[in-house]
């Protein structure tokens, strides 16, 4: 092993008793295929679970129920990839993130991401505006078909994160960009948290219809605010049609 890099809450001063342990393990190219990640992690503490998850990452549960995710990467290409994290990940204190560096390359790469780089607002707002229109139209079709559970999932798993990102962009609160619901109550105003709450609800026909309508109303308000501020394109005709599709005439 040539390097170990922590990322996530432990490097940002936000970790608590409920936080995961996330790390990249950099192994020499000639040894990476034979490297036993589970055996290495078991040296840290006893494990209750260890497996390769759906993303190809070693996921573990320690004996105290702390979760962990460990990326095993070849040193050369793995460290080179860190440069592509700009705008998504930052290390305000690289010395707290780099636990092992036998070559010096890992520390140098981490230092390049010391500063936080917020998303570029105009292109990001346009992307989110278009995503929200596309996915909400899908929601309308799914809802009209009677797939209530699928519509409910679309609202919470797909649309809400996009919506919260656009809200964060407008409010200048993008530190938790990768997980926009993280620390939402602390990062955004009570009014924004309440608007988000109106887009959620139980899995009943009326509740899903109401949440869907509330969601699209808020998306349109956020998109209009972005257009006023940054001049992003607003397909008003399509937005009206989506509203109609969500509330068809009986």
Look at residues 190, 169, 194 and name the one whose alpha carbon lies nearest to residue 180. Answer: 169
Spatial distance between the Cα atoms of 17 and 175, rounded to a whole number of angstroms: 21
Token code pair at residue 197: 């709450």
The confidence band for 247, taking pLDDT boundaries of 50, 70 and 90, is: confident
| Distances, alpha carbon 133 to alpha carbons 3, 104, 136, 235, in Å | 43, 46, 5, 9
Q: Domain limits of the chain?
A: 3-111, 121-246
pLDDT in tens, 163-212: 999 999 999 999 999 999 999 999 999 999 999 999 999 999 999 999 99
Q: Is 170 in contact with 224 (CB distance < 8 Å)?
A: no
Neighbouring-strand partners of residue 177: none
Mean per-residue pLDDT for 24-50? 96
Spatial distance between the Cα atoms of 13 and 162, rounded to a whole number of angstroms: 26
Mean pLDDT of the chain: 96
Mean per-residue pLDDT for 88-117? 95
- How large is the greatest C-alpha to C-alpha distance in the chain, in angstroms? 69
Q: Which residues, including other chains, have CB under 8 Å from residue 48's CB and lie 6 or more apart? A: 61, 62, 63, 65
pTM for the structure as a whole: 0.90
| Distances, alpha carbon 247 to alpha carbons 37, 102, 133, 231, in Å | 52, 61, 15, 29
The confidence band for 31, taking pLDDT boundaries of 50, 70 and 90, is: very high
- The CATH fold assigned to 3-111 is Beta Polymerase; domain 2 (3.30.460)
Residues comprising the chain, all counted: 250
pLDDT in tens, 57-98: 999 999 999 999 999 999 999 999 999 999 889 999 999 999
Q: What is the dihedral of CA 26, 30, 31, 32, to 10 degrees?
A: 50
3 state SS of 250: coil
How confident is the model at residue 249, as a pLDDT? Answer: 57
How confident is the model at residue 250, as a pLDDT? Answer: 47
Using left for φ > 0, alpha for ψ between -120 and 50, and beta otherwise, residue 14 falls in alpha
Spatial distance between the Cα atoms of 83 and 79, rounded to a whole number of angstroms: 8
Look at residues 79, 98, 97, 82 and name the one whose alpha carbon lies nearest to residue 32. Answer: 79
Neighbouring-strand partners of residue 101: 3
Mean per-residue pLDDT for 13-29? 95
The percentage of residues in the chain with a pLDDT greater than 70, rounded to a whole number, is 99
3 state SS of 171: helix
How confident is the model at residue 94, as a pLDDT? Answer: 95
pLDDT in tens, 117-161: 999 999 999 999 999 999 999 999 999 999 999 999 999 999 999
How confident is the model at residue 68, as a pLDDT? Answer: 98
Mean per-residue pLDDT for 99-119? 96
How confident is the model at residue 92, as a pLDDT? Answer: 94
Mean per-residue pLDDT for 215-231? 99
Mean per-residue pLDDT for 2-22? 93
Spatial distance between the Cα atoms of 113 and 130, rounded to a whole number of angstroms: 29
- The CATH fold assigned to 121-246 is 1.20.120
């Amino acid at each position: 092993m040539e390097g170990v890099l922590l990322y996530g809450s432990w490097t940002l001063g936000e970790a608590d008793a409920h936080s995961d342990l996330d790390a990249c393990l950099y192994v020499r190219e000639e040894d990476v295929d034979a490297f036993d990640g589970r055996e290495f992690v078991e040296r840290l503490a006893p494990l209750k679970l260890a497996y390769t998850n759906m993303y190809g990452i070693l996921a573990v549960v320690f004996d105290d129920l702390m979760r962990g995710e460990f990326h095993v990467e070849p040193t050369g290409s793995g460290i080179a990839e860190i440069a592509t994290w700009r705008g998504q990940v930052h290390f305000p204190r690289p010395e707290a993130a780099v636990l092992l560096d036998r070559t010096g390359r890992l520390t140098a790469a981490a230092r390049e991401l010391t500063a936080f780089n917020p998303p570029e607002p105009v292109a990001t707002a346009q992307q989110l505006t278009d995503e929200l229109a596309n996915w909400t139209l899908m929601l309308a079709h799914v809802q009209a078909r009677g797939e209530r559970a699928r519509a409910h999932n679309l609202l919470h798993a797909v649309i809400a994160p996009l919506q919260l990102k656009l809200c964060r962009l407008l409010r200048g609160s993008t530190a938790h960009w990768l997980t926009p619901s993280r620390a939402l109550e602390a990062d955004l105003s009570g009014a924004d948290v309440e608007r988000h709450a109106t887009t959620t609800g139980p899995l009943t026909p009326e509740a899903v219809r109401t949440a869907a309508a509330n969601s699209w109303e808020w998306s349109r308000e956020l998109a209009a605010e972005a257009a006023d501020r940054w001049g992003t394109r607003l397909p008003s005709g399509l937005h009206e049609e989506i509203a109609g599709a969500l509330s068809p005439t009986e």
